[in-house]
Amino acid sequence: MNSASSNLTTNATAASGAVSPTAGSPASVTPPAAPANPANPLATAPVASASPTFSPLYQQIKALITQSLQSGEWKPGELIPSEVELAGRFKVSQGTVRKAIDELAAENLVMRRQGKGTFVSTHHEARAHFRFLRLVPDEGVPHYPESKFLEVRRVRAPADVARLMELKSGDAVIFIKRVQYFDGVPTIVEELWLPGLIFKGLTAERLVEYKGPMYGLFETEFGTRMIRASEQIRAVCADADAAQLLNIQAGTPLLSSERVSFTYGDKPVELRRGLYLTSHHHYQNELS
Amino acid sequence: MNSASSNLTTNATAASGAVSPTAGSPASVTPPAAPANPANPLATAPVASASPTFSPLYQQIKALITQSLQSGEWKPGELIPSEVELAGRFKVSQGTVRKAIDELAAENLVMRRQGKGTFVSTHHEARAHFRFLRLVPDEGVPHYPESKFLEVRRVRAPADVARLMELKSGDAVIFIKRVQYFDGVPTIVEELWLPGLIFKGLTAERLVEYKGPMYGLFETEFGTRMIRASEQIRAVCADADAAQLLNIQAGTPLLSSERVSFTYGDKPVELRRGLYLTSHHHYQNELS
DNA sequence: AAGTGGTCTAGACCACTTT
DNA sequence: AAGTGGTCTAGACCACTTC
């Protein structure tokens, strides 16, 4: 319909100059020299009252912007077009674009910076690092642990892993096992499962040479950005393996966390099972 | 200044008719018959550039509304005045009131319902119940546990409790100990500390006869509404006392949670220490 | 000075609820 | 029909950043 890629439902494609809802006169019905003709694009379709698939314009704009984020048109860390430009592209007002971006910012998909513009969020940022790392020291300031990788293998997904990641049992996955150290003290034993299809070229070497959070590497090297995660936490006893790796006695109570991380479209792209030693650290959570 | 109780800083008191920023012409500089003179109330004070205490109008409105919530002018569950009415009261546009309420809704202080109005949030709601209860069964739907109260006493605050609740060591506090049962199975042992001053009339009888979440009782009977909490989670071993109460062996790993809850103004009003049995339940957390 | 996001206003109309 | 919140527009000006 429109020159731009706009594809707004039901109403859309209106809003430019003079598009009448149904068969009304082009730009009439408005007071003489009044402020303006809103050219309201929310005009419902001819007979479509009780619209079944009603979606506000700004939600449609939000979806379009999200598509551009997902497709990589604007990459993590980059500047996205200004509100004015997006408004022009989508043929809506700046206020509508603003509301769409407001929600994206609330979901941490983009970050606004007054005077500079709106940027695609990235895991390469101090700010983002602690959004998914909730284990903090009882004393002192939170900081990032060091990793030591024990295993990186291509395997077939066990049934339970496949179920949580919405794969088929036996699908190719990458299995990673590592220990994390805070100030030299082993504190976390972690096992990760990643879809083999997406993380094809992931090797132990790349993991080792990469400094910083793994989500940063995933985002940069594999174009897969984690945007949300769901975590289940329990208390368990250290088994012999964990005890040895964490240099503690078997039977020591540990925090067990099972996390499924999602990328755009609520697609699960990581299963992470961790055991946390909470003698000098704790899992910090804000309820609001 | 104003007829209403408005007390907006720096700018305020403008916005009615024609108030010029400094010494400019009353209602000039605008195009001939243009839409309107916004009578912008954000006009900075005469020489106050780089304003030290700049606060947007809607933040000031938000603070005023929060005050009314805190003072009990509008009680939990009640309808607050409409956006139009508040706009009139504060002498600002509806859009500004809307933005203030948007933030209050995002913080769960109020709830908007299209066509009906904006309501003060309350803990007497299925929706709110699980905002602070994160322990859910591995199988089946989340539901609320039953309580059995073991102790309700007035005591003097130990040093560690006083510190976390911003009281003085030795201040009067109410101590509560209870066990919670899911489907008859003891699963949570909890100790609560409440400021004696606020919860003066709280007795075991009232706790026992009250059905539903304690935060509901606190809100209704003591006018204290919990709006936020900070939680620290660890894994520990069950001691003899917990083992007996939960009907498990001493040494069984348990989730330990220490929660400080806050009311308006970030004032701590509850310390809650819980031990959770996570054999058939888990602590559910969404990272976003 | 120009460009960006941030705030504020005013007015229109839509969707929903209640009378 | 009236009232409420929800969406959309248009325009003005402010605060911040960069050139």
pLDDT tens, residue by residue, B55-105: 999 999 999 999 999 999 999 999 999 999 999 999 999 999 999 999 999
Q: Residues of B with CB below 8 A from A284's CB?
A: 230-233
What is the SS3 assignment for B195?
strand
Structure-block tokens of residue B94 = 């509806």
Top mean pLDDT of B22-36, B202-216, B242-256 is at: B242-256
Q: What is the pTM of this model?
A: 0.86
- Residue–nucleotide distance: B3 CA to C7 C1' (Å): 24
What is the SS3 assignment for B98?
helix
pLDDT at position B41: 40
Whole-angstrom distance, CA of residue A275 vs CA of residue A87? 48
Residue A288, min C-alpha distance to chain B (Å): 5
**Structure confidence by residue, pLDDT tens digits, B105-156:** 999 999 999 999 999 999 999 888 899 999 999 999 999 999 999 999 999 9
Residue B112, beta-bridge partner list: B118
End-to-end CA distance of chain A: 44
Instruction: Report H helices in A133-274.
Output: 159-165, 204-209, 214-222, 240-246
Residue contacts between A and B (CB atoms, under 8 Å): 105
- Which residue's CA lies closest to nucleotide D14 at its C1' atom? B42
Contact: B237, A259; criterion CB under 8 Å? no
What is the SS3 assignment for B45?
coil
Burial group, residue B171, by CB count within 10 angstroms (0-12, 13-18, 19+): middle
Find the Cα–Cα–Cα–Cα dihedral B137, B138, B142, B145, rounded to 10°.
0
Residue B140, min C-alpha distance to chain A (Å): 15
Mean pLDDT of chain A: 86
Q: Per-residue pLDDT averaged across B33-55, rounded?
A: 43
- Which residue's CA lies closest to nucleotide D9 at its C1' atom? A38
pLDDT at position A8: 58
pLDDT at position A52: 57
Angle between helices B57-71 and B83-90 (to 10 degrees): 110
Q: Residues of A with CB below 8 A from B236's CB?
A: 235, 253
Neighbours of B183 (CB within 10 A): 11
- Residue–nucleotide distance: B54 CA to C12 C1' (Å): 32
Pairing outcome for strands A117-120 and A267-276 = unpaired
Q: Please give the nucleotide, over all strands, whose C1' is closest to the CA of residue A96.
A: D8
CB of B242 closer than 8 Å to CB of B255: no
- Residue–nucleotide distance: A165 CA to C5 C1' (Å): 39
CB of A83 closer than 8 Å to CB of A98: yes
pLDDT at position A212: 86
- State which residue of chain A sits closest to B275, comparing Cα positions: A235
- Residue linked to tokens 């243009």: B34
CB of A176 closer than 8 Å to CB of A199: no
pLDDT band at B211 (very low <50, low <70, confident <90, very high): confident
Residue A193, beta-bridge partner list: A175, A271
B103, B234, B236, B259: best mutation site toward chain A, by most A Cβ within 10 Å? B234
- Residue–nucleotide distance: A189 CA to C19 C1' (Å): 64
Q: Residues of A with CB below 8 A from B106's CB?
A: 106
Contact: B251, A254; criterion CB under 8 Å? no
Q: Please give the nucleotide, over all strands, whose C1' is closest to the CA of residue A10.
A: C14
